[in-house]
Structure formats: structure tokens, C-alpha cells
């Protein structure tokens, strides 16, 4: 796991916002998904290593974020000032200038963005924002860095004549583990956002 990976980047933005506090009677976005759903929609085939979720309350209590250390984040932002507090969060994350692309069929209206990471240690994120009445739902997934693009991938793309059969099989698996792009995550983010929006409309996570 690289420095500032997965939850680190968005958690840092949350903790730099005024109004951050421990969860008390605020909404709990982690209750919007079951553990099995989180593994399916957020881990997406990657190991979770038994890591547990964290909840952070931001924006004077109007925003609640569920951090999934194995690959994503879900947020619910409530009135008053849901939009303003979300924009402050995006500015703290330095993602407020990223292009916003409309998405149909998610909430009352929605858009998605793919902020360019500041450096190689920052997450490559697909971030969707959906309006649900007076509330705003945010869903983020982080692109998987495949081993095919790492040091072992370079080794496996070299001369394999001296490798044992077991090592060659390992190389086959390594080279098959390609990195995701941020844009390739859009279908997964949209699917997850639709599920979360449905749960928010039904009043779950309160």
C-alpha cells in the first residue's frame, strides 16, 4: 500500500475542514451498506485485510463520511448548506476545479469527476455527486494499482528463460493484474451510487 493511499487522501480533506467531530447522533453512512455489499461494490475483488470502516463528521455536522480503507468512501451531506460544505470539502481536497460530467439516472441530478492526482502517491479517484432532495450523496472509488505495472511486472516482462514453472505461473498472474483507470470505474461508481441513493431515500443510515 502506497503512502496516502485509499482513505488517506479524502480523510485528510475531511480532517482539514472546520467542524470535524466524532460521530454521535449524526447520520451514519456506514449503515447504508452491509459488509457483503461493501466487499462487492467497494473492494471489488481486492483483499480487505479485515480493515474496518471509519466515520468522520464534517461541515458543522452537515456532512457524514464513511471511509472504507479497502477502496472507497460514501458521504451524506444534509441541509442547511449541504452544497456549500461539499464545495469546501472539494476545495480542501484540491478537486474543486476538476471537470464535472453529468450522469443520468442517479438521484434527482448527478455528476462525476476524475480529479488528477497531485503525485504518484495520491489516489486515482472516480467521485460521483448525487442530489437527493435537500441532501447530497457522494460516492468515491479508488483505482486499483495492478502488480503488472509495478516492479514485479517489469521483471516478468523480461527474460523468463531462467524461471521455474512455478515462477512462470506467478508471472502469468502478475501480468494479468492490470491497473484500473479512473474513468474505467464509472460503471461501478454509478451502480454503487444508485444503491446508496435508494437507501438514503428509504431513510436508512439515520
pLDDT at 189: 97
Structural domain total, the chain? 2
pLDDT at 17: 53
Question: Do 49 and 135 fall within a single domain?
Answer: yes
Is 206 within the bounds of a domain?
no
Q: What is the pLDDT of residues 136-164, one digit of tens each?
A: 999 999 998 877 777 887 889 888 888 88
Question: Do 131 and 163 fall within a single domain?
Answer: no
pLDDT at 20: 45
Burial of 51 (0-12, 13-18, 19+ CB in 10 A): middle
Q: Indicate yes or no: pTM above 0.85.
A: no
Question: Do 68 and 128 fall within a single domain?
Answer: yes
pLDDT at 138: 97
Under DSSP, is residue 199 helix (H, G, I), strand (E, B) or coil? helix
In contact, 205 and 66? CB cutoff 8 Å: no
pLDDT at 9: 52
CATH number at residue 45: 3.40.1000
Is 38 within the bounds of a domain?
yes
Query: Rounded to an integer, what distance in angstroms lies between the CA atom of residue 146 and that of residue 149?
Result: 6
Positions in the chain short of pLDDT 50 = 1-7, 18, 20-26
Question: Do 110 and 122 fall within a single domain?
Answer: yes
Question: Do 94 and 159 fall within a single domain?
Answer: no
Range of the domain at 37: 7-144+180-201
Query: Rounded to an integer, what distance in angstroms lies between the CA atom of residue 62 and that of residue 51?
Result: 26
Query: Rounded to an integer, what distance in angstroms lies between the CA atom of residue 204 and that of residue 10?
Result: 23
In contact, 77 and 17? CB cutoff 8 Å: no
pLDDT at 101: 98
Query: Rounded to an integer, what distance in angstroms lies between the CA atom of residue 34 and that of residue 45?
Result: 16
Question: Do 79 and 167 fall within a single domain?
Answer: no
Is 102 within the bounds of a domain?
yes
Query: Rounded to an integer, what distance in angstroms lies between the CA atom of residue 174 and that of residue 156?
Result: 8
Is 2 within the bounds of a domain?
no
- With a pLDDT cut of 70, the percent of the chain lying above it is 86
Query: Rounded to an integer, what distance in angstroms lies between the CA atom of residue 87 and that of residue 16?
Result: 13
Question: Do 73 and 156 fall within a single domain?
Answer: no
Question: Do 191 and 172 fall within a single domain?
Answer: no
Question: Do 104 and 140 fall within a single domain?
Answer: yes
Question: Do 120 and 170 fall within a single domain?
Answer: no
Question: Do 154 and 110 fall within a single domain?
Answer: no
DSSP state of 21: B
pLDDT at 97: 94
Question: Do 101 and 51 fall within a single domain?
Answer: yes
Amino acid at each position: 500500500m502506497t503512502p496516502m493511499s485509499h482513505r488517506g487522501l479524502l480523510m485528510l480533506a475531511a480532517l482539514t475542514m472546520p467542524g470535524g467531530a466524532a460521530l454521535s447522533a449524526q447520520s451514519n453512512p456506514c449503515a447504508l451498506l452491509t459488509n457483503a455489499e461493501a466487499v462487492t461494490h467497494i473492494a471489488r475483488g481486492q483483499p480487505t485485510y479485515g480493515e474496518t470502516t471509519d466515520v468522520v463528521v464534517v461541515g458543522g455536522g452537515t456532512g457524514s463520511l464513511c471511509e472504507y480503507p479497502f477502496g472507497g468512501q460514501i458521504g451524506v451531506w444534509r441541509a442547511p448548506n449541504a452544497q456549500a460544505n461539499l464545495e469546501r470539502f472539494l476545495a480542501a481536497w484540491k478537486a474543486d476545479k476538476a471537470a464535472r460530467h453529468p450522469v443520468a439516472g442517479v438521484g434527482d441530478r448527478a455528476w462525476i469527476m476524475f480529479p488528477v492526482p497531485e503525485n504518484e502517491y495520491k489516489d486515482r479517484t472516480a467521485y460521483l455527486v448525487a442530489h437527493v432532495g435537500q441532501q447530497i450523496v457522494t460516492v468515491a472509488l479508488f483505482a486499483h494499482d495492478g502488480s503488472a505495472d509495478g516492479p514485479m511486472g517489469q521483471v516478468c516482462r523480461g527474460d523468463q528463460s531462467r524461471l521455474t514453472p512455478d515462477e512462470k505461473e506467478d508471472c502469468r498472474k502478475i501480468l494479468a493484474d492490470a491497473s484500473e483507470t479512473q474513468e474505467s470505474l464509472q460503471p461501478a461508481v454509478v451502480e454503487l451510487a444508485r444503491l446508496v441513493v435508494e437507501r438514503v431515500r428509504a431513510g436508512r443510515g439515520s
